[in-house]
Structure 1
């Protein structure tokens, strides 16, 4: 078998060339690899969006959503089908089964397009359904720009500026699209005076039809002149100017006089009805969201956007300002700086520990594993479609302290052979080969812990998969460095015999020697203390092991007092949603927002920017929903270390002020404040779906759920997804009276829509902007303010006379729902809520509600409660993570069984995995950190990390047994020999993560708990390794001996004989 260490010392030049190639390739990759906030992932979701302006939620549901759902249900591969029918809008969300391959998902997407195309009986006024594939960049734009009217220049000006800037932004390389929010389409409005139209015996539909007939280009074929030249003939009837539209003849009166449009109507240039109004720091504004393409470096993209905006500002008209209101590149750069500072502090700690324990040269040799492994991984990232983002950075931090472990084990063992008098090359080869298989096994067990994490499915699984991928690639790089690069480097630069203690440079020799001598004395004293403490443990090993198990049970109880916040936010942003009274118009909602904006101004420099919208808010599903009585604020605060560490301070202060404003003002019905989640979109922390064929019963159950949630401390923002909408005027046709005049409901509906919302018969092309502008024929607002005005609407009967609406119909005032929700093509009700993370968590509240309503099917026959949102995703992810842990444990056991050729010794080695949980819980409780999704991943990763020390310890026990030592003597000797390496590897691993766990480089609400889990889990597990593993080993050996005697085999008869690892 080829010996890697032997080949390394023989081919030093080749090894050094390989080393340089990896370093150079890694540095090049680092300079070119895309940096992103989140990885390029698809959410396995498609959205079918259909717009029908002016339609109610009931009409949207009945005439659009239901028809589309009937066809979409036939599509293969659908996991979940939900829809939201809102006023003027139908949204159908299709989540694909995560087991589908890319080819299968594309085939299902084609089926979806075909299904939508088959629906050909949608209302004429509805726009064509639009299918959107949802990705991370659709949900979170790279940056946002506000175009604000700070000088009263008017809507037209900021609209033209916004649209021009939008076009320029979309030409930037890497920009997928730029989306405007808060702008309106221009319209040429024809306000028909009802009295003058009545005098001219004209109705609005007739005027609309006349405009349509006169605003056309008609191709008239070809014409041959006398010279046989062929000439195309076209009839041009387009309106050239608004004045030419006013001059259109709409009727010839009985006296033969032509009646023009201008005589019965006023043509006005304006905008469509306002549905959303935007404000930036209280000033009217339009916002532009910039979405990036996949694989684009967010820093480069935003820099280009900022450069464009800065240049564009120079040519802006007075009174207009452009501001980059959200820049996600600053988010990732600040997080990278935080990680970098913690990493540097950690590496310096590792260098200091190694310097004072194995010498300056050996320390440098070990430290080389860190840059080599990172650059090795960065070089591999592009081939795996990976970028440098928040997930891969966390993976780097997690593995940073482990990278030197293999080098330390090898260097320490080589040095032991050197001190024993072996020739240098022989010491390198023998020292490396002696621990090579244990080192490979330690890497194997760590990889075995992380590989199953890639099996977690769904959005969360795809999102978090980059963390274990980064760890796995980096660990492979560290193994290459330890077994191939390190032996050659030690030959050139490693410490030699007695020189090992003072080979440092002249200026450092004395200090290094004295420091190392002091450290060596301290380690020797510590080892003696440990060996003395070990004796009573070995003699009372059963009691000690039971005490450890009791500590494990205690930690399980303690975990109930540790908060769980899976997707804790670290964004310097939060949202405030506002509900004005149900019947409020958009102007009244805007006034309420203005009052809140003045309250927010009182926070001064604590808040940096506020972008607000009247006419929309963040819904319970997490996306925007429209309604003229809705409002929302996007609030940013300074991204300082203090704010990142404790965002709840500002969040809580703003929330208290908002609650005060809601209590004091009559034009504010409710205010909700919440932070964005840090992770994939998984819904609200509380989302309880009520399924029932009886919709009225589902509503009653939802009311009880809301009442119960209100009694749980820490739960707020309780709402459901069936908000009552504004008043509706419902026209009911008297069929008998209508038939007397030959009228149908279509005639009545057309006249009513023409009066209220208007008719769009044609478009007008603006010669200046080349923009197609809708021509809308309607009645002035002053003539349609009351029910009486609507009852006076004139309808043309087939016989030629006009009939008033009130003669054939009645109008009733009723209310309907603002939004209607479907799950699996059936109506359902969902109750939502937020949790404060202190008194209540998603897991605790959903668990309590499930207990309170465990008899729901008995109390309400036909009703089922589904706990969805974050809780559902958490339950699914936790189940899959648990499966990953089981698979990891089986894989680790298999590796250890192959290593030791034993069935029981892997159990001894793996015993420390459970005890690592004690440290994790203690760390979270002491530092008051929440358990996040990253902490769960850290706990699984710990399963592969903590066995490394016990693996090598048991391997040395086996070597002692193979040399004829008794079990007790072999344990004592291996504990004496391995104490220093175990202490060293543990301290170096902890040194790499301790700064982040304690926040020495800046406290972080996501990274801090993650690092603390590993630090405390590893510290406790490593400490117990030195006591629990020897004790459990002897317990098993004694048990085997008793069983052998009981079976009459005598001492050792039939007893499994451990062997040393191969390769020695």
Structure 2
């Protein structure tokens, strides 16, 4: 039994990536606790039992009470009458169970919602506001204040614990790492808000804020982003659960297909904040240099670019210049920049001088300036530029969203050569996590099967023990579905735990049944007797486990929703598996072992049960 439970958690040591990092601590804790409990049960418990359970003479009253039939004995008798009726139709019952439960479990595992982690009603959020591309930071600040006021109005100012907002693009010398806070330009603002409690329905709050800001600021786009550290790590840099990267050497083609995806994703009712993450139509002034005219005036492109950079932005990005204060030893960055109020119109740019200490030629003499648009943010994967289409999910599981998004990508048809459309972020993490957990569970089942085959010296008996696994999976999935939970990392851990306990119960019953069968040569009587003897231990084991998991399954208190799927999966799996072990397993055992030989299959000549047994010769002096 100990080895079966340990074998269930053994694949955790071979898992890699996120599933391995998250599952290994739980598996290690359970594994070591089981080993310690086994050692205590074989040493400390017998000593204490021998010390405390002293024999004493039985009185007449105690003897009379023992003869009375107790409640559990009446329950046991009723249970035996029930399975006696089932023994008469054991083959149909077995077939219906194996085919029906396995089919329903397979259907449930393919239809239930999937997430990496359980969804919780958090008390904090991060919001990115994108004004129209090219909006000045002053106008962005005004709009950010409107958003902040709406947050206070909807949630109630008394419920807001703290709010923080950053408007515009932080300077290069500002002490903020873009890993923690990134803005693409003066048109963006990032909010972080924490509530005093988690009584507010965050999903409903987000929808209210979206609707209100769409009416007040129709040109402003909102996008809620992960704020929890775990979510940020799992998203692998993606700002939303759904992120699609359209990459290719031709930026216009990337933008074209990204807009097609935006239109398709907006048709999905549960997707929110569908938008292109990068500003692809940022207002710009294009400077077309007449190189012949510039050469005639003795000006080259270096002179033009140096004057243009200093006048429109700053020389800090092109020419590094530091001044050191001799007294304090402090280093200061020195940059050349024309004041912003001196560059207001296109004519001001035309009048920028190009040579030192000379008023002519000016930029207008050698170049033509006309308005246009450009990419406000350039993201590259290696040397290939890409644009990202992002979307949030509302009241839907991540697995369904990833599946529908994949269908939208496929509906684009055959892509032009050199263009790639791929999903990133939580979607890929979900597939890797589920695949790793499924592989781990299958490996655990195979290991247990081989281990039981070596113990019982029979593949058929090992198969009988493992027939409880479909009941565990079905029970866990049904309870998850009824409670509104999804199949995620926590619930998968619960399924694996309940598989270990149910197999331990099955081993307890089958071991006794096989021993009785070898003595009586009657599989039905052996299965019946084993079910009767092991009824109390199996029920007590399941009740103790369910009682221990009940507070976790309720999910009361802050953070309770994060671990409740684990408890629910364990309870559902044990409820179904206990019924299967006590009722269905004896039927399967009686059918499978009905015509089995009682002769030992051992080849050991020193084993007295083996037909190859050789009695030792005794020498006589």
TM-score (norm 2): 0.84
- Of 723, 726, 729 in structure 1, the residue corresponding to residue 285 of structure 2 is 729
Give the whole-Å Cα distance in 1 for the aligned partners of 2:598 and 2:532.
30
Structure-1 residue corresponding to 2:17: 458
- Of 335, 349, 368 in structure 2, the residue corresponding to residue 790 of structure 1 is 349
> Is this contact kept in 1: 2:159–2:197, CA < 8 A?
no
Structure-2 residue corresponding to 1:171: none
Q: Does 1:592 align with 2:140?
A: no
Q: Does 1:567 align with 2:117?
A: yes
Distance 1:852 1:812, change over 3 A: closer
Structure-1 residue corresponding to 2:175: none
Which string of whole-angstrom CA distances, capped at 9 and with x for unpartnered residues, describes residues 395-441 of structure 1?
xxxxxxxxxxxxxxxxxxxxxxxxxxxxxxxxxxxxxxxxxxxxxxx
> Is this contact kept in 2: 1:569–1:675, CA < 8 A?
no
Give the whole-Å Cα distance in 1 for the aligned partners of 2:41 and 2:584.
29
Q: CA deviation at 1:992?
A: 0.7
Structure-1 residue corresponding to 2:221: 670
Q: What is the number of equivalent residue pairs in this alignment?
A: 580
Which string of whole-angstrom CA distances, capped at 9 and with x for unpartnered residues, describes residues 831-854 of structure 1?
222212x3x322112223334554
Distance 1:743 1:499, change over 3 A: farther
Query: Where do 1:755-766 residues align within 5 Å?
Result: 755-759=311-315, 761-763=321-323, 765=325
Distance 1:786 1:853, change over 3 A: closer
Structure 1 segments unaligned to the other structure (5+ residues): 1-441, 502-512, 1042-1051
Q: CA deviation at 1:961?
A: 2.1
Distance 1:487 1:558, change over 3 A: same
Give the whole-Å Cα distance in 2 for the aligned partners of 1:825 and 1:759.
26
Structure-2 residue corresponding to 1:614: 167
Give the whole-Å Cα distance in 2 for the aligned partners of 1:443 and 1:873.
33
- Of 84, 93, 98 in structure 2, the residue corresponding to residue 535 of structure 1 is 84
Q: CA deviation at 1:812?
A: 2.8
> Is this contact kept in 2: 1:609–1:636, CA < 8 A?
yes
Structure-1 residue corresponding to 2:174: none
Q: CA deviation at 1:772?
A: 3.4
Structure-1 residue corresponding to 2:506: 950
Structure-1 residue corresponding to 2:173: none
Structure-2 residue corresponding to 1:471: 30
Distance 1:676 1:561, change over 3 A: farther
Structure-2 residue corresponding to 1:522: 71
Partner-residue secondary structure (3-state), 2:134: coil
Partner-residue secondary structure (3-state), 1:929: coil
- Of 506, 516, 523 in structure 2, the residue corresponding to residue 967 of structure 1 is 523
Distance 1:487 1:1001, change over 3 A: farther
Structure-2 residue corresponding to 1:899: 455
C-alpha RMSD of the superposition: 3.4
Distance 1:730 1:1002, change over 3 A: closer
Distance 1:892 1:526, change over 3 A: same
Q: CA deviation at 1:867?
A: 3.0
Distance 1:691 1:757, change over 3 A: closer
Distance 1:700 1:748, change over 3 A: closer
Distance 1:486 1:936, change over 3 A: same
Structure-2 residue corresponding to 1:604: 157
Q: Does 1:828 align with 2:386?
A: yes
Give the whole-Å Cα distance in 2 for the aligned partners of 1:500 and 1:611.
76
Partner-residue secondary structure (3-state), 1:858: coil
Q: Does 1:844 align with 2:400?
A: yes
Give the whole-Å Cα distance in 2 for the aligned partners of 1:1058 and 1:707.
71
- Of 530, 541, 544 in structure 2, the residue corresponding to residue 988 of structure 1 is 544
> Is this contact kept in 1: 2:163–2:192, CA < 8 A?
yes
Distance 1:885 1:627, change over 3 A: same
Structure 2 segments unaligned to the other structure (5+ residues): 171-178, 610-621
Q: CA deviation at 1:1023?
A: 1.5
Q: CA deviation at 1:996?
A: 1.5
Structure-2 residue corresponding to 1:711: 267
Q: CA deviation at 1:725?
A: 5.1
Higher share of residues assigned strand: 1
Q: Does 1:1024 align with 2:580?
A: yes
Q: CA deviation at 1:555?
A: 4.5
Partner-residue secondary structure (3-state), 1:738: helix
> Is this contact kept in 2: 1:699–1:829, CA < 8 A?
yes
Q: CA deviation at 1:1033?
A: 0.8
Structure-1 residue corresponding to 2:128: 577
Q: Using CA pairs below 8 Å that are at least 6 residues apart, which structure has the higher relative contact order?
A: 2
Runs (4 or more) in structure 1 with deviation over 6 Å come to 1053-1059
TM-score (norm 1): 0.51
> Is this contact kept in 2: 1:996–1:1003, CA < 8 A?
no
Q: Does 1:495 align with 2:53?
A: yes
> Is this contact kept in 1: 2:11–2:444, CA < 8 A?
yes
Query: Where do 1:88-167 residues align within 5 Å?
Result: none
Q: CA deviation at 1:821?
A: 2.9
Give the whole-Å Cα distance in 2 for the aligned partners of 1:1004 and 1:770.
55
Distance 1:694 1:592, change over 3 A: closer
Q: CA deviation at 1:499?
A: 9.1
Query: Where do 1:44-55 residues align within 5 Å?
Result: none
Give the whole-Å Cα distance in 1 for the aligned partners of 2:75 and 2:376.
71
- Of 377, 380, 389 in structure 2, the residue corresponding to residue 819 of structure 1 is 377
